[in-house]
Amino acid sequence: MRILVTNCNTTEAMTKEIEAGARAAASAGTEVFARTPSWGPESAEGWLDSFLSAAAVLDLLRNIDEPFDAVVMAGFGEHGREGARELLDVPVVDITEAAAHLAGLLGRRYGVVTTLDRTCGLIEDSLHSAGVDRNCVAVAGAGLGVLELGDEARTEAALLTAARRVRDSGAEVLVLGCAGMTGLDRRMSALLDVPVVDGVAAAVRLAESLVALGLHTSRAGSYARPLDKHRQWPSG
């Protein structure tokens, strides 16, 4: 099985990290390859970036010339997943919903720790439209931009502070709200003594599950194949 992972921003180093996280989570027989959009924002923090990223990732998806069995969209809270479901015949799993689905199996209420406060609303909306917001009690920002996550000590301290706020709101499970946090789940879990879900890992496993069970996106209603029409894409 081959899973394509798409980064939501143009930062190649982050694509590599996400790819490594996805590979670490994948089953033995699964091949993972990650791709970076050729245009868009270097990091996605807010709606402007998210809409730019959504189109860039869709543009990327229509141009992949290798076969793949499922797509993992690695942009926490970012737009685009419904469009990818229309575009592709293979299952599409977004890391936002994936993390929430698994979190829902581990505790009665969960919460999300993300980068900047300005992205919290975006994440809340994404959880709502995916139908997994019911048991989410809080989405909190750690005051760190996506590209600042490289500083490990600072990141850990900031995430812990935000995570404690989320726990005090009643969260029994934490979700890491940024693809760039992939790999921090076990360390955070040890420090906080609650399960911590990494969306990239969750999405890889859910994508594998759908493929293994022979399940495809429904073509009845919302995610019917795109109509045949003229679309002027940036990539031509």
Q: Which residues, numbered 81-100, are part of the site for its own copies (CB under 8 A)?
A: 82-87, 91-93, 97
Site membership for its own copies, residue 23 (CB under 8 A): no
Site membership for its own copies, residue 148 (CB under 8 A): no
Whole-number minimum distance, CB 94 to its own copies, in Å? 9
How far is the C-alpha of 86 from the C-alpha of 226, rounded, in Å? Answer: 6
Site membership for its own copies, residue 69 (CB under 8 A): no
47: amino acid identity, one letter: W
Site membership for its own copies, residue 178 (CB under 8 A): no
How far is the C-alpha of 147 from the C-alpha of 29, rounded, in Å? Answer: 32
Total interface residues for its own copies by CB under 8 A:
93
Q: Which is nearer to its own copies, 153 or 190 (CB)?
A: 190
Site membership for its own copies, residue 151 (CB under 8 A): no
* Stretch in the footprint of its own copies (CB under 8 A) among 14-22, 131-139, 152-160, 175-183: 131-139
Closest CA to 81 of 222, 234, 231: 222
**CA 86 vs CA 53, 62, 78, 136: distances in Å:** 17, 11, 17, 27
> Taking the mean position of all CA atoms in its chain, how far away is CA 224?
23
* Stretch in the footprint of its own copies (CB under 8 A) among 12-20, 80-88, 150-158, 176-184: 80-88
How far is the C-alpha of 146 from the C-alpha of 159, rounded, in Å? Answer: 12
Q: What are phi and psi of 89, to 5 degrees?
A: -90, -10
* Stretch in the footprint of its own copies (CB under 8 A) among 14-22, 101-109, 150-158, 176-184: 101-109
Site membership for its own copies, residue 35 (CB under 8 A): no
What is the SS3 assignment for 4? strand
Site membership for its own copies, residue 157 (CB under 8 A): no
Length of the chain: 236
Q: Which is nearer to its own copies, 65 or 231 (CB)?
A: 231
How far is the C-alpha of 101 from the C-alpha of 145, rounded, in Å? Answer: 25
Q: Which of 1, 64, 160, 210 binds its own copies (CB under 8 A)?
A: 210
Pull the structure tokens for residue 199: 């969306």
Q: Which of 168, 187, 191, 218 binds its own copies (CB under 8 A)?
A: 218
* Stretch in the footprint of its own copies (CB under 8 A) among 12-20, 154-162, 176-184, 208-216: 208-216
Q: What are phi and psi of 58, to 5 degrees?
A: -65, -40
Q: Which of 56, 60, 95, 181 binds its own copies (CB under 8 A)?
A: 56
Going by their DSSP bridges, the two strands 70-74 and 110-114 should be labelled as unpaired
Site membership for its own copies, residue 156 (CB under 8 A): no
